[in-house]
Each structure stands twice: as C-alpha cells, then as structure tokens.
Amino acid sequence: MNKDRLKEIFASALGKTIMVFGDVMVDEFLYGKVDRISPEAPVPVLEFNSHVFLPGGAANAANNIRSLGGEVLLAGCIGEDFAGERLLQELARRGISTDGLITASGKPTTLKTRVIAHTQQVVRIDREERAPINSTVEGGIKEYIKGNLEKVDAVLVSDYGKGTVTEGVLKELVVRCREPRKPIVADSKTLFIDCYKGVAALTPNVAEAERFTGIKVAGEESLVEVGRRLLELLDAKAVLLTRAEQGMSLFEKGGDVTHIPAISTEVHDVTGAGDTVAAAFALALAAEATIKEAAFVANLAAAVVVRKVGTATATPEEVTEILHEWKGSS
C-alpha cells in the first residue's frame, strides 16, 4: 500500500453508501482530574471538568464511515428516553440520517458512561437491556432495510448482543444482499452461524474468534486454524482477525494468510476501535479496494483512533498521514 493508492481508495469511497444495522448506543464521558483519595472510602475523587455524549456501537461505526468520506444509512432501535433523544441530536449534527432508528417502547437506549481522570479510564457504568427487540420493532427495521437496500453499496452488521440483531432480520438481510452482490461485513459479539453464512467478511477480535470456534489461540498454528475454521463455518470471503498490539491477521477464502503488523503508537484509548476497523473495512470494499487493501486501510484507521481519548473517528487525511509510520509502506 502506498500513498497514491490510498488516496485513490478514499476518492472512490466518496459517494459510496453503507447501511449499518445493529446495536446503537450512547457513549457518555465525564472528564476531570484526580489529586486526592476520598476520606469516605479508598476511592479517587474526580474533580469534574467536562461532559460529552458521542455516538457509540453501531452509531459509532456509522460516524466513522461518515468521517472517512462515505454516506451512511443507520438501522436499529432506540428507547423512549433522554439517551435516545441525545443520540438523535448527535447523529443529526454529523449529517447521519436517523430515519432507520425505530423507537422501542420498554427497551432503553444503551448508555455507557465512562469516567476519565486525565487520560485514564477510572470506571465504566453500563445502562442497558439485552432482551431481543419485539416483533413490531423487528418489522419496522425489516421494512426500512427493504425500502433502502437498493441505495447502498455495502452493509455493515454491528452486533453487540444487545438484542437488536435478530435471526429474522439477519436471514432476510443476507438473502436480499446475495443477488445484487452487496458485500456484508459482520462485526459480531454473537454468532448466528446459519444466518451469517455467505457474508463477505467477519471482523472478530481474538477472544471472540476463540469463543466462536472453541479453539484457543496459543501460537501461529492455532491462530491459522481459528481463521480457517471461521471461513469454513461462514463460507465467507475473508476473516479479518484483530490482535491488539500484534496487529491483524487476514484469512482469505483462497487460502492466503496475511499478517499486518500494528503501527507502533502510544495507545490512549481503545474505545470503539473495533467499530472503526469494521467501518473502514466495509467502506474500502464498497470503494472496490481488494480485500487485502481494505484490511490495510482498516489497520491504519484503527491506529488513528487509538491515539485519541474517547470514542473517536478517523479522517482520510489522518489515515494518509499515518501511512508513513507503517513499516510496510512504500
């Protein structure tokens, strides 16, 4: 991958539309500093400084696609609550359509609150309900997908196991994408094997891949076994396995295995990095990059966001700038 080719991919990504379907969330951050311990209990006292709300989960993936130059349609559900209202506001500010977010009565919007002292996360509080969406909400999401699928170039499924991604929607989505050959990239914490069969690619981390296959990664041999087993289970074109500081490993249906080294960097926060990987990978595929090129773009985009504190996005300029730090660049 060189700078000219990277610029070509981003130029081709302009105007490409990705449908993101999955568990939308709100990421709340409380920032401050700590310089003393509470006299009431052995815990730090945070002197509050600032407070932000950001799109999280599938909404973060959508935000990354938008930041990287693509267009996005977002399908999912929100609750009748403050977090849902705030998410709609934040998405609207970023030019992301909220027409595909169905309101679910009785199911709250997932809200993750992180307390940050200086640049260090102190604690995270999750407010969520993992029960599956009801048939009314599921029907609304199906209708939105059916009515808008012809407008998109690729689909990203962002499944955090919060109940939005159901077998019924998945099966219909895969069938509808098969004939026009719209690639589906799946970023999933759960795995409905039968439903995901035929997707273009899966982007798990090592822990998820181990859980999906029942194989423990203990070295090069078992790593390759896990990748090939996932390809077999899903009948996918590729599996992009993220490996934290060890980079990524790409397994392709034809048998190719490519290990992509991580860019040496100071990691400030890995919040949402997986969303960035899946978003960049899906957008690059929509821009007709090869699978290997799309994996390289995803690796670069991830290196950009982990340098930032909080749920972050990458821009084409930032990704291009960081390319020279990748030891495989030319």
**Could you report the per-residue pLDDT of 5-54, keeping only the tens digit for each?**
999 999 999 999 999 999 999 999 999 999 999 999 999 999 999 999 99
User: What pLDDT was estimated at residue 328?
Assistant: 47
Q: Please check whether residue 123 lies inside any domain of the structure.
A: no
C-alpha distances in angstroms, 289 versus 55, 76, 269?
27, 28, 28
Residue 61 belongs to domain spanning:
3-25+56-114+129-325
Mean pLDDT of the chain: 93
| Distance separating alpha carbons of residues 44 and 329, to the nearest angstrom | 44
Name the percent of the chain lying above pLDDT 90: 83
Does residue 264 lie in a domain region?
A: yes
Q: In this structure, is residue 38 part of a structural domain?
A: no
Residue 54's closest CA among 106, 96, 10, 101?
Answer: 96
pLDDT in tens, 33-42: 999 999 999 9
Residues 59-76: b if buried by 16+ CB within 10 A, e if exposed: bbbbbbbbbbbbbbbbbb
User: Is 330 part of any domain?
Assistant: no
Instruction: Please give the Cα distance from 137 to 77 (Å, whole number).
Output: 7
Q: Is residue 48 one of the residues assigned to a domain?
A: no
pLDDT at 330 over 70: no
Domain for residue 32, yes or no?
no
Give the CATH number of the domain where residue 194 resides.
Answer: 3.40.1190.20
Q: Which amino acid type is present at position 196?
A: Y
Find out whether 293 and 254 touch, Cβ atoms under 8 Å.
Answer: no
Confidence of residue 329 (pLDDT cuts 50, 70, 90): very low
- 187 a catalytic residue: no
Q: What secondary structure does DSSP assign to 94-142, as a single string?
A: TT-B-TTEEEETT-PPEEEEEEEETTEEEEEEEE---SPPPHHHHHHHH
Q: Is the pLDDT of residue 250 over 80?
A: yes
Instruction: Say which residue, 141 or 265, is predicted with more confidence.
Output: 141
Q: What contacts 39, CB < 8 A, 6 or more positions away?
A: none
Predicted confidence at residue 147, as pLDDT, reads 96
145 phi, psi to nearest 5 deg = -60, -45
Q: What total number of domains does the chain contain?
A: 1
Question: What's the pLDDT score for residue 119?
Answer: 82
Query: Active-site residue among 23, 27, 159, 275?
Result: 275
- pLDDT computed for residue 157 by the predictor: 97
**Which tokens go with 220?**
């090069």
**What tens digit of pLDDT does each residue of 223-246 get?**
999 999 999 999 999 999 999 889
Is residue 45 domain-resident? Answer: no
The model's pLDDT over 258-309, given as tens digits with 9 standing for 90+, comes to 999 988 767 667 888 899 999 999 999 999 999 999 999 999 999 999 988 8
Residue 156 has pLDDT above 90, yes or no: yes
Domain assignment present for residue 30? The answer is no
What is the reported pLDDT for 308?
Answer: 87
What value does the mean pLDDT take over residues 133-153?
A: 96
pLDDT category, 179, cuts 50, 70, 90? confident
